[in-house]
Amino acid sequence: MTALTDVRDTITQLRREVCALHAELTRYQLVVWTAGNVSARVPGHDLMVIKPSGVAYDELTPGNMVVCDLDGRVVEGDHAPSSDTDAQAYVYRHLPHVGGVVHTHSTYATAWAARAEPIPCVLTMAADEFGGEIPVGPFAVIGDDSIGRGIVDTLHGHRSPAVLMRNHGVFAIGRTARAAVAAAVMCEDVARTVHVARQLGAPVPIEPRYVDQLFDRYQNAYGQR
């Protein structure tokens, strides 16, 4: 029996989950055309499930998701994987706690990325989800490890699960693909609200001790136990 046969059920489940999560990107208007993608790590295996490249959101099915190894090589699938596969594979190789990665060019967050400006922590919802500012990563282009390295290096030492890659867009991580999608949704929401706030004046920062308190409560006590 091959290793792939052992994980057949897990992969079937993740194909469904990753496919379904793409509908959240369109529902929250984080993507246009074929841009953006979601991936999930196959727990316990050096594999990931990711969106196929250039396929319209309406045409995504569990069956056309692509299974790749963590060097970005296709293991199973009829389509080429997302062009962000190498960047996401790099994240999975270097951050073992990450189970899901999301990439979008959502409008407001990407406008901050275009200015290379971190989004300051001036909202309790930002403290909850990001534990501080949402940082900016370096300018990088597809073709080598530089996007993946930029994401990992920037998030190192930040509590934020999202990074604004300069002149590009959002990469968000999570313990699961669903958590990574939530971070991408919240990142856009925070980016939009702080942008609106700035139109009429300077947003007021939240004291660091309250940022810590909010982050701790939201990460450890919020929601259904």
Q: Which two tokens mark 50? A: 């990711």
Q: How far apart are CA 116 and CA 103, in angstroms?
A: 17
Count of residues touching Zn ion (by CB under 5 A) = 1
Alpha-carbon torsion (160, 161, 164, 165), positive or negative: positive
| Nearer to Zn ion among residue 87 and residue 126 (C-beta) | 87
- Pair 132, 206: CB distance under 8 Å: no
| Nearer to Zn ion among residue 48 and residue 140 (C-beta) | 140
| Nearer to Zn ion among residue 30 and residue 206 (C-beta) | 30
Asked about 168 being catalytic, the answer comes back as yes
Quick note: the x/- pattern for Zn ion over 152-181, rule CB under 5 A, is -----------------x------------
Q: Minimum CB separation from Zn ion for residue 208, in Å?
A: 32
The C-alpha angle with vertex 137 and arms to 134 and 143, in degrees rounded to 5, equals: 140
Q: Minimum CB separation from Zn ion for residue 170, in Å?
A: 9
Q: Minimum CB separation from Zn ion for residue 55, in Å?
A: 15
Asked about 105 being catalytic, the answer comes back as yes
Q: State how beta strands 169-174 and 162-165 pair.
A: antiparallel
Residue type for position 189: D
| Nearer to Zn ion among residue 37 and residue 160 (C-beta) | 37
- Pair 205, 120: CB distance under 8 Å: yes
Binding site for Zn ion (CB under 5 A): 169
> Which residues are designated catalytic?
103, 105, 128, 168, 222
